[in-house]
C-alpha cells in the first residue's frame, strides 16, 4: 500500500461558546515526520480529533484529503480503514494478554473458526523484527514498562496496515532511555514510507525527529517550518506569540520555620509489600523541595502517603507543625493545611462532567457552608476570585471542565487546592502535558506562594525543572533516598546518578 | 443548575402527555377525578421510594433490596399495631429506626468491606423477604383494628380540606416565583447566562397553572391526598439536600469520579453510609404508605418496587453510573411509571402483559440513558 499525502484545509470547529479551531491548514507529506506544536488550548487535541474521525465529518467546516481525493471520516473506524491510526497517551491495550495477542486483538487469524495461535505469534515476531523492536511476543503486556507498551501499540497499528500514525504526546510517561528507543523507531518508520504526525511539548524531541513543524496558536495554523532551518527560540516565539527569556523564574525567599517533618518513614503498599524505606525529609515555610526519581521510584506514593491517601505505615513519623499525623485521611490533611495536586488530573483531580465552579470549591465547601446549606453568594465570590487570578480561559464558571484544555484544567485543580487555604502544597508533576506559557504561569504561582510563606514539595521527571525551581532536591530510587542536595552548583548528572543508585 | 430545557426534559414531558392521552382515549375513567386522585396516591408512594433511590444512585451505587424492605418495615409496624396494640406513631417510629440501622449496616458493608452494593442488596432482597413473611406469618395484618382510624391508616386515606388546598397552592406558587426572581438576580450578578424574561415567566405561569389545576381536580374528589403532601415535603428536602448542601455536592462528585473526590478531601465512605441510612428511613416511610394504601400487610406488598423505583430514576435522567440526576427528573420519571401501571390496571390488562411492559420500559430507559450519556 502506498502512502499518500494527507491534507486538512481550512478546518473550523466550534463548540458552544468557544471556537476551538478557526481555520487550520495542515499537510502531511508521504513519509515525513511532521510535528504539531502549540500551547495548551491552542487546538492541537481538537485537530487530532478531526484528523482521526472522532469529530465526524460535518461537525466541522473544511475538508480532509488523502492524496487528491476528499476524505470523509465519520468515526475512528473510518480513519483506521483509511490507514490513519492515533496512538494515545492513554494506552488502549489489555494488560493481561500477551504482546502478540494485543497486536492481533480484534482481528485474530482463524482456521476453521479456531484461533490460529501459531500464526499470531509468528507474525507478531515478524512485525517486531521488521521494526527492530526487541520484545518477546509471548510476554504478558502488563509486565512491560510503559515505553515498551507504547511500542507494542505502534506495532499493533502498523500490523493493521496503517500508513499514517498520529502520536499524541507519546513520551510524556517515558524515561529518557525509553524515549530514545521510541524516537529511533519512529525515525526508522520514515524509511519504510510511513508518515507520522508527532505531538509533543518537549521541543528537544520535536527537533530530534521532525522533518517539518507546524505551529498552532489560538486555533489557527500560524506557520509551517522546515525543522533544519529553524530553531527552538523561533518555535517558542511562534507558539506563544511573545518571547520567553527566562524559563525558570525562581525567586528565592529566606526559609522560615519547619512546617512538615517526616522521619524514618517505612511504608507498605496495598499488597503489604515494602514500598518506601527509611525516608526522612523536611520542608520549611517559603521553600520549594523538589523530588525526582525514575518511574517506580516511589515519588508519588511518598507524597500520597504523607497526604493520607496511600499505603500502610510500618514505622516512622509525619509531623505538621510538630503535630503528628497517623492513619489520617485526605480530609484531615486538608484541615491541617496540607493539600495535594495529583499527577493525573483527569483521574485524581477533576470531576470532568461538572463545571468549573463545582470543581474549584469542592475541597473548601466547609468554609462556605452555614450549618446545613451552602452559601452560594460566598461560594461564587471565592470561585470568581480564583477563576480570575489564575486566568482560566473559559467563558465563565459554568463551563464544563471536560471541554477545557490541559493547562486550564490544571489551573482549576491548583485553584481547588489553594482555595482550602493550605500551608503546605504538594505538586505532583504540575507542568506535565502543559505548554511553555502555562508552565511559566505555574512557576510564577509557585513564587507567589513561597513569598507568602507556603511550603511546596514538587515532584518532577524533568531534571531542568527540578534544578530550575527547587531550593533543595531529593532524589528517590526504588523507594529509598538516593541523595539530597542543596540546589547550588549541582548538575543533571549528579541528580541522575542519585536516581539510579540508592545509598 | 442548568437553566436550559434539555431535549431530555422535553421528551419526558411529551411521553407523559402521550401516555395520558392514549389512556384517556382507551378508558375515559383514567382522567376522572377519582382515578386521578388514586393515581396521585400511587405516584406519591413510588416517588418517595425513587427519591431515596436517587440518593443511592448519585454516588454510583444501587439498592435492590428496597421492595422487600417496603414489605418488611410496613409489616413490622402493622404487627406492632394490630397484634401488640402499640400506638401507631410509636410503632412507625420504631420500625423506621430499625430500617435506618439495617441500611446503615448495609452501607457499612458496601464501603468498608468493598462488597458491591448490587450483591449486598441482592442478599438483602432475599433476607428481608424471608423476614417479612416470618413477621406477618404469611397472613394478612390490617394497619388498624376493626374500622377505626389511626395515623398509620390515615397516611393514604386523609385528604386536605378544600380551603387548605387553595392556601397550599398559593404558598407554593409564591415561593416558586420568589425563588425564580432571586435566582435570576443572582445569576445576572454572577455574569452567568440568564434565560429570557418571557421564558422565566412562562415557566412560573405553567407551574402555577399546573398547581391550580391539580388542586381543582383534587377538590372535585376529596381534596389533596395527605400522601402527596408527604411526598412534597420529602421532595423539597431531597432537592435542598442535593442542590444546596455539601452532602449533595459530594454525592455528585463521588458518583462522577470517586478517586478525585477522595483526594479532594471528601469523606467518601461516611457519605455513602449516610445516604444508605437515609434510604433506610425512606424505605420504612414507603412501607407505611404502601401498606396503608393496601389497608393491610400481605405477602405481596412491595413486590418489584425496587425495579419501579430504579426505572423512575433512570427515566427521569439519573445516570446509573452516578453523578447525574435531580429531583424534578425523578418526580417526572415516577409519574410516567405510575401512569403506565395505573392505566394498564384500568384497562384490565393481564399481569403477563404488565410484566412485559414494565420490563420493556425499564430496558428502554436504561438504553436511552446510555445513548444520551455517550453524547
Is A238 contained in some domain? yes
CB contact under 8 A, B265 and A352: no
Contact criterion met (CB < 8 Å) for B323 and A384:
no
Arithmetic mean of pLDDT, B147-163: 90
Task: Name the CATH code of domain B7-156+245-373 (choices 2.60.120, 1.10.10, 1.10.3470, 3.40.50).
Answer: 1.10.3470
| A470 pLDDT above the threshold of 50 | yes
Q: Mean pLDDT across the stretch B176-186?
A: 90
Residues of A in contact with B246 (CB under 8 A): 365-366, 369, 374
Q: Where are the beta strands (DSSP E) in A364-437?
A: 424-428
Q: What is the pLDDT of residues B280-304, one digit of tens each?
A: 999 999 999 999 999 999 999 999 9
Domain contains A14: yes
Of residues B186, B192, B256, nearest to A353 (C-beta):
B256
Give the pairing of strands A212-217 and A33-37. Answer: parallel
Contact B260 A350 (CB under 8 A): yes
Percent of chain A with pLDDT strictly greater than 70: 95
Task: Give A-chain residues touching B267 at CB under 8 angstroms.
Answer: 329, 331
Closest CA to A316 of A277, A284, A273: A277
Q: What percent of chain B has pLDDT over 70?
A: 97
pLDDT score, position A17: 60
Nearest to B260 among A349, A373, A377 (CB): A349
Q: Pick from A421, A453, A479: which residue ends a domain? A: A421
Residue with cell 482555595: A419
User: Domain map of chain B by residue range?
Assistant: 7-156+245-373, 159-224
What average pLDDT does range B225-237 have in this prediction? 96
- Residue A158 CB neighbours (<10 A): 19
Q: Looking at CA atoms only, how far is residue B69 from chain A in angstroms?
A: 29
Residue A177: half-sphere exposure toward Cβ, Cα within 13 Å: 7
* Of A201 and A187, the one with more pLDDT: A187
Q: pLDDT band at residue B7, thresholds of 50, 70 and 90?
A: low
pLDDT of residue B2: 43
Write down the pLDDT at residue A246.
Answer: 60
Same domain for A436 and A416: no
What residues 249-288 of chain B have any CB closer than 8 A to a CB of chain A?
A: 249-250, 252-253, 256-257, 259-267
pLDDT one-digit tens code per residue, B200-214 = 898 899 889 989 999
List chain B residues with CB under 8 Å of A362: 249, 253, 261, 264, 266
Last residue of some domain: A218, A245, A272?
A245
* CB contact B186 to A (< 8 Å): yes
Contact status, residue A436 vs residue A280, Cβ threshold 8 Å: no
Regarding whether A429 and A413 lie in a shared domain, the answer is: no
Q: Looking at residues B254-274, what average pLDDT do you find?
A: 95
pLDDT digits (tens, 9 = 90+) for A324-350: 998 999 999 999 999 999 988 888 999
pLDDT digits (tens, 9 = 90+) for A427-461: 999 988 777 778 888 999 999 999 999 999 999 98
Strands A220-226 and A212-217: antiparallel
CA-based angle A377:A382:A386, to the nearest 5?
145
Q: Do A330 and B252 lie within an 8 Å CB cutoff? A: no
Residues A151 and A201 occupy one common structural domain: yes
- Which structural domain range is residue A168 located in? 4-245
Residue B234 pLDDT exceeds 90: yes
Q: Is residue A219 domain-shared with residue A132, that is, in the same domain?
A: yes
Q: How many domains does chain A have?
A: 3
Q: Could you say which of A393, A421, A449 is where a domain stops?
A: A421
Rounded-to-integer distance, Cα A324 and Cα A331, Å: 15
Flag whether residue B40 sits within 8 Å of chain A, measured between CB atoms: no
Domain membership flag for residue A344? no
Band of residue B4 on the pLDDT scale cut at 50, 70, 90: very low
pLDDT confidence bin for B1, thresholds 50/70/90: very low
Judge if A357 and A451 occupy the same domain. no
Q: Is residue A345 part of a domain?
A: no
pLDDT-based confidence at B3, cuts 50/70/90? very low
> What confidence score (pLDDT) does residue A287 get?
94
d(CA A30, CA A65): 13
Nearest-CA distance A370 → chain B (Å)? 9
Whether A486 is covered by a domain: the verdict is: yes
Residue A502 has pLDDT above 60, yes or no: no
pTM: predicted TM-score of the whole model, two decimal places: 0.78
| Mean pLDDT for all residues in chain A | 87
- The pLDDT of residue A463: 81
Same domain (yes/no): A325, A179: no
Q: Does residue A150 share a domain with residue A125?
A: yes
Question: What CATH number does residue A28 fall under?
Answer: 3.40.50.300
Query: Do A46 and A163 have their domain in common?
Result: yes
- Based on the fold, state whether residues A290 and A372 are members of the same structural domain: no
Domain identity same for A293 and A168: no
pLDDT, position A91:
67
Amino acid at each position: 500500500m502506498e502512502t499518500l499525502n494527507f491534507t486538512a484545509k481550512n478546518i473550523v470547529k466550534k463548540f458552544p461558546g468557544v471556537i476551538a479551531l478557526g481555520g487550520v491548514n495542515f499537510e502531511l507529506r508521504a513519509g515525513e515526520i511532521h510535528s504539531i506544536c502549540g500551547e495548551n488550548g491552542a487546538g492541537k487535541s481538537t485537530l487530532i480529533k478531526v484528523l482521526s474521525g472522532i469529530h465526524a465529518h460535518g461537525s466541522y467546516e473544511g475538508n480532509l484529503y488523502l492524496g487528491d481525493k476528499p476524505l470523509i471520516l465519520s468515526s475512528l473506524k473510518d480513519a483506521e480503514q483509511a490507514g490513519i491510526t492515533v496512538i494515545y497517551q492513554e494506552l488502549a491495550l489489555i494488560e493481561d494478554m500477551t504482546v502478540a495477542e494485543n497486536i492481533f486483538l480484534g482481528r485474530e487469524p482463524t482456521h476453521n473458526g479456531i484461533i490460529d495461535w501459531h500464526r499470531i505469534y509468528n507474525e507478531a515476531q515478524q512485525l517486531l523484527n521488521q521494526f527492530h523492536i526487541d520484545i518477546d511476543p509471548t510476554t504478558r503486556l502488563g509486565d512491560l514498562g510503559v515505553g515498551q507498551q507504547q511500542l507494542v501499540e505502534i506495532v499493533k497499528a502498523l500490523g493493521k496496515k496503517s500508513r499514517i500514525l498520529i502520536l499524541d504526546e507519546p513520551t510524556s510517561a517515558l524515561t529518557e532511555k525509553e524515549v530514545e528507543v521510541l524516537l529511533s523507531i519512529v525515525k526508522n518508520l520514515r524509511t519504510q514510507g510511513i508518515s507520522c504526525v508527532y505531538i509533543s511539548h518537549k521541543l528537544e524531541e520535536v527537533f530530534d525527529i521532525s522533518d517539518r513543524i507546524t505551529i498552532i496558536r489560538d486555533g489557527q495554523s500560524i506557520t509551517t517550518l522546515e525543522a533544519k532551518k529553524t530553531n527552538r527560540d523561533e518555535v517558542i516565539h511562534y507558539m506563544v506569540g511573545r518571547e520567553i527569556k527566562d524559563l525558570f523564574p525562581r525567586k528565592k525567599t529566606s526559609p522560615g520555620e519547619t512546617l512538615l517533618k517526616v522521619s524514618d518513614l517505612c511504608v507498605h503498599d496495598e499488597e503489604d509489600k515494602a514500598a518506601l524505606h527509611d525516608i526522612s525529609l523536611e520542608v520549611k515555610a517559603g521553600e520549594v523541595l523538589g523530588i525526582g526519581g525514575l518511574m517506580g521510584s516511589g515519588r508519588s506514593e511518598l507524597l500520597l502517603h504523607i497526604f493520607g491517601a496511600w499505603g500502610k505505615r510500618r514505622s516512622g513519623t509525619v509531623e505538621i507543625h510538630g503535630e503528628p499525623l497517623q492513619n489520617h485521611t485526605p480530609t484531615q490533611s486538608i484541615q491541617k493545611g496540607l493539600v495535594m495536586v495529583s499527577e493525573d488530573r483527569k483521574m485524581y483531580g477533576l470531576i470532568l462532567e461538572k463545571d468549573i465552579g463545582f470543581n474549584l470549591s469542592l475541597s473548601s465547601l466547609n468554609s462556605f457552608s452555614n450549618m446545613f446549606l451552602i452559601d452560594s453568594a460566598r461560594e461564587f465570590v471565592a470561585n470568581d476570585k480564583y477563576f480570575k487570578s489564575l486566568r482560566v480561559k473559559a467563558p465563565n464558571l459554568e463551563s464544563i471542565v471536560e471541554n477545557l484544555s490541559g493547562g486550564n484544567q490544571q489551573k482549576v485543580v491548583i485553584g481547588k487546592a489553594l482555595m482550602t487555604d493550605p500551608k503546605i502544597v504538594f505538586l505532583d508533576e504540575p507542568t506535565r502535558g502543559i505548554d511553555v506559557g502555562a508552565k511559566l504561569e505555574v512557576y510564577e504561582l509557585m513564587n507567589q506562594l513561597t513569598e507568602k510563606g507556603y511550603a511546596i514539595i514538587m515532584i518532577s521527571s524533568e531534571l531542568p525543572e527540578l534544578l530550575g525551581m527547587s531550593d533543595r532536591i531529593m532524589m528517590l530510587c526504588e523507594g529509598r533516598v538516593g541523595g539530597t542536595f542543596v540546589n547550588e552548583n549541582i548538575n543533571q548528572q549528579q541528580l541522575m546518578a542519585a536516581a539510579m543508585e540508592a545509598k | 443548575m442548568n437553566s436550559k430545557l434539555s431535549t431530555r426534559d422535553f421528551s419526558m414531558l411529551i411521553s407523559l402527555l402521550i401516555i395520558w392521552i392514549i389512556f384517556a382515549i382507551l378508558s375515559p375513567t383514567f382522567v376522572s377525578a377519582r382515578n386521578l386522585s388514586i393515581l396521585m396516591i400511587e405516584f406519591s408512594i413510588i416517588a418517595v421510594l425513587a427519591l431515596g433511590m436517587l440518593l443511592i444512585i448519585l454516588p454510583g451505587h444501587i439498592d435492590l433490596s428496597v421492595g422487600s424492605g417496603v414489605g418488611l418495615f410496613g409489616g413490622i409496624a402493622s404487627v406492632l399495631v394490630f397484634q401488640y396494640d402499640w400506638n401507631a406513631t410509636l410503632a412507625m417510629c420504631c420500625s423506621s429506626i430499625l430500617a435506618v440501622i439495617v441500611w446503615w449496616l448495609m452501607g457499612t458493608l458496601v464501603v468498608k468491606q468493598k462488597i458491591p452494593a448490587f450483591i449486598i442488596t441482592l442478599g438483602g432482597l432475599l433476607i428481608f423477604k424471608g423476614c417479612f413473611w416470618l413477621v406477618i406469618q404469611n397472613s394478612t395484618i390490617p394497619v388498624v383494628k376493626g374500622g377505626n382510624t389511626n395515623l398509620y391508616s390515615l397516611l393514604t386515606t386523609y385528604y386536605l380540606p378544600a380551603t387548605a388546598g387553595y392556601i397550599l397552592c398559593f404558598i407554593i406558587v409564591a415561593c416558586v416565583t420568589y425563588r425564580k426572581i432571586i435566582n435570576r438576580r443572582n445569576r445576572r450578578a454572577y455574569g452567568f447566562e440568564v434565560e429570557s424574561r418571557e421564558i422565566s415567566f412562562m415557566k412560573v405561569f405553567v407551574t402555577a397553572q399546573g398547581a391550580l389545576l391539580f388542586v381543582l381536580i383534587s377538590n372535585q374528589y376529596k381534596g389533596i391526598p395527605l400522601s402527596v403532601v408527604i411526598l412534597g415535603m420529602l421532595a423539597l428536602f431531597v432537592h435542598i439536600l442535593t442542590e444546596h448542601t455539601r452532602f449533595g455536592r459530594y454525592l455528585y462528585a463521588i458518583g462522577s469520579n470517586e478517586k478525585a473526590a477522595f483526594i479532594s478531601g471528601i469523606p467518601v465512605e461516611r457519605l455513602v453510609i449516610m445516604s444508605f441510612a437515609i434510604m433506610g428511613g425512606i424505605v420504612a416511610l414507603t412501607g407505611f404508605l404502601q401498606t396503608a394504601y393496601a389497608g393491610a400487610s400481605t405477602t405481596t406488598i412491595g413486590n418489584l418496587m425496587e425495579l419501579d423505583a430504579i426505572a423512575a430514576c433512570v427515566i427521569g435522567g439519573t445516570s446509573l453510573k452516578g453523578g447525574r440526576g435531580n429531583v424534578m427528573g425523578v418526580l417526572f420519571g415516577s409519574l410516567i411509571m405510575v401512569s403506565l401501571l395505573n392505566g394498564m390496571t384500568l384497562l384490565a390488562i393481564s399481569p403477563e402483559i404488565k410484566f412485559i411492559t414494565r420490563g420493556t420500559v425499564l430496558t428502554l430507559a436504561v438504553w436511552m440513558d446510555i445513548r444520551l450519556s455517550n453524547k
